[in-house]
Amino acid sequence: MRQKKKKKKKYRLFWIFVKLQFVLMLLVAAGLGYYYYGGYAAQVQKMQAEAVKYVRDSTPATFCAAQTSVVYDKNRNTISTLKGEKDVYYLNYDQIPPDVCAAIVSIEDKKFYRHNGIDYKAIIRAGLAMLQDGKVTQGGSTITQQLARNIFLTQEKTWQRKVEEMFIATELEKKYSKTQILEFYLNNIYFGNGYYGIQAASIGYFNLEAEDLDLSQIAFLCAIPNNPTMYDPLKNMEETVGRRDRILRNMFEDGQISESAYLMAKAEEITLNRPEHEKNNYVETYTYYCAIRLLMEQEGFQFQTEFSSEEEREAYADRYNEMYDEFQKKLYTAGYRIYTSIDLGLQELLQQAIDEKLSAFTDVNEEGVYKLQGAGVCIDNETGYVRALVGGRSQDFAGYTLNRAYQSYRQPGSAIKPLIVYAPALERSYTPDSLVQDQYIEDGPSNADGVYSGEMTLRSALSRSKNTVAWQLFEELTPRLGLSYLKAMNFSRISREDERLTSSLGGLTNGVSPVEMTAAYAALENDGDYRMPTCIVRITDAEDQEILSTVQEEEKIYKTTAARMVTDMLVTAITEGTGAGLAVEGMPSAGKTGTTNDNKDGWFAGYTRYYTTGIWVGYDMPAELPGLSGATYPGQIWHAFMQSCHEGLTPSEFLPYVEMDPYQKIRQDALGPEGEEEQP
């Protein structure tokens, strides 16, 4: 009986095995059928043919070719050139320090000398890690695959690109030796900040030839290419040093360096020494930022400012950084011609105004940067393009510095009131002559002057910047409605926590940038029509074939009547209100001051028919500055710059608004902005 049971069990296992094999054969057959009849076979064959052609047509010169990109101002004067300079900084294999080769192989591709272009185990390992972690945490690409991608392909993550990358890698391994491939790779990988190749990075970060680098510096530089944004030494030194230490440990464990060399290199403090070069610091960084984002948008990237979860925010940041890095690299190699709206004459005037008005403040931080800073943006009201942009005071530093005009976000104080309180209120049941109450509010704000004036007009409340009135109006409108105007104008750091009454006084969680504020005030001058701020007019290739051009499309944010009413009220604010004495002489002008608690941030934003300019003044690390208000340093900078840039221009009056009777007002409210009649 026992023998019969054993036989039955044996036969049952046998048939299970047979059935399993049959199912697997069916799956393989189905997969092959899907592969051939679904069109994938043709795609793969085409990619393989392309790979063969890419490599067959290549020569060693292919791996040192690059084109210079050029940036022009509005008059086609050259602002800057962007050149990867591979041809200038190219090193032959015997010129590359052995430790560089050892470091990069140790961290990027340990099996480099043993594989034929593809490390299948690494690909499987990376795939399993992705399934486990839910995102890409390991790289499966060999050095040869990375070279294939950098020279012949894009950085997009699709199966087609990955397959073609593998085909190219195997072809490269057939045509070139390992030392040639490593030479090509080390001269082409991106080390951030415009540096391609180990020699360019050595000079760019340490002002040394590659042959003069020590072991610690070599490992430090080899840490960057894995993720030039995350390991950017100018922004994330600690992360870069941390990866340097991992590389040194790998080299020690791989037997490439001794324990004493490992410990000495790890203990060494990294000090950057970047060579100086002539540059239009703030103009250049803003131009590159605008150009990269436009190229990303053309590629299909959808920009986002609101997220349903932290996971969604992190995933977006990963996608953004990856594509931003890709197009940043192209700026240095693609031979773009970038035509901007920048007026270098206005740029010089704005920089001069900021430098002169803050010249008395000479304290510097540990890095030698002025503690008290200022930033400003000027937009041409006729076109909507940025004409000048200054991100800080003038100082001689190697490389680029923080561009506060678009990279810093600060509390706007009362300068936010026209945007989220008064213009929205004027779209509804209010006019400049409407009466409101300036009164004590329990658990509410006090006024800057400590005075409650009782009944007053809306015009007077804005011109005198009464906090209590703004608070009451915002409560009536609701914070969500008021903040929706900022979101519609692409203010990028508005959060759900900002849906509170303190936002009416500029008490935001993350703050706003000078570019955002200036563009919003430009919308008020432009009859309530918002235009996305940019300085890029068009981009062409090296043969002047157009890649993209910009059209300043307008989006209705405020009703025309409301925008003109606010403008008229801001004229009062700059003649007899908190901005009294700051009007441009002989030129109709409007503006608003902004001061935050404890005098940490000062703003002045205003406009004429010609230009809108926004100014911010404060410490990079927020701290009190006695005497700082919107009317002092920011207002003085604004007045000095606007007075200079309007010299010789014909005075131009703001367009009048037409007051409506109650019945017309009710009709317009029902129609909304799109149904509004044109104003004279």
Report the sign of the C-alpha dihedral through residues 45, 51, 54, 56, in that order.
negative
pTM of the model: 0.74
Is the pLDDT at 34 greater than 50? The verdict is no
Strands 555-556 and 611-619: unpaired
Q: What integer is the mean pLDDT of 168-195?
A: 91
Q: How far apart are the first and last CA of the chain?
A: 107
Lowest mean pLDDT among 110-114, 358-362, 517-521: 110-114
Tell me the C-alpha distance between 418 and 463, whole Å. Answer: 10
Which tokens go with 556? 């209705």
Position 326 pLDDT exceeds 90: no
Poorest-confidence range of 151-165, 214-228, 378-392, 657-671? 657-671
Mean pLDDT, the chain, whole residue set: 87
Q: In this prediction, what percent of the chain has a pLDDT beyond 70?
A: 85
- Does CATH number 3.40.710.10 belong to domain 341-434+474-680? yes
Can you give the C-alpha Rg of the chain in angstroms? Answer: 31
Q: What is the mean pLDDT of residues 439-462?
A: 94
* Confidence band of 678 (pLDDT split at 50, 70, 90): very low
In Å, how far are 405, 506, 509, 585 from 494, measured between CA atoms?
17, 12, 7, 36
CB 508 within 8 A of CB 491: no
| Bridge partners, residue 540, by sequence | 337, 546
Is the C-alpha dihedral spanning 543, 545, 548, 554 positive or negative?
positive
- Output the pLDDT for position 15: 59
Residue-wise pLDDT for 483-535, tens only, equals: 999 999 999 999 999 999 999 999 999 999 999 999 999 999 999 999 999 99
3-state secondary structure (DSSP) of residue 83: coil
CA 553-554-559 angle, to 5 degrees, is 170
Interval 387-407 mean pLDDT: 89
The yes/no answer on whether domain 51-267 falls in CATH 3.40.190.10 is no
Highest mean pLDDT among 101-110, 144-153, 667-676: 101-110
| Model confidence band, residue 325 (pLDDT cutoffs 50, 70, 90) | confident
pLDDT of residue 90: 85
| Average pLDDT for 166-195 | 91
Q: pLDDT tens for residues 457-474? A: 999 999 999 999 999 999
Q: What is the pLDDT of residues 136-180, one digit of tens each?
A: 444 568 999 999 888 887 656 566 667 888 888 899 999 999 999
Q: Which residues contact 255 (CB under 8 A, 6 or more apart)?
A: none
What is the average pLDDT across 55-60? Answer: 88
The residue whose two tokens read 């610091």 is 281
Token couple for 625: 């500055």
CB neighbour list of residue 523: distance below 8 Å, 6 or more residues apart:
489, 529, 530, 531, 557, 558, 563
pLDDT tens track for 120-139: 776 676 556 545 555 444 45
Q: How confident is the model at residue 243 (pLDDT cuts 50, 70, 90)?
A: very high
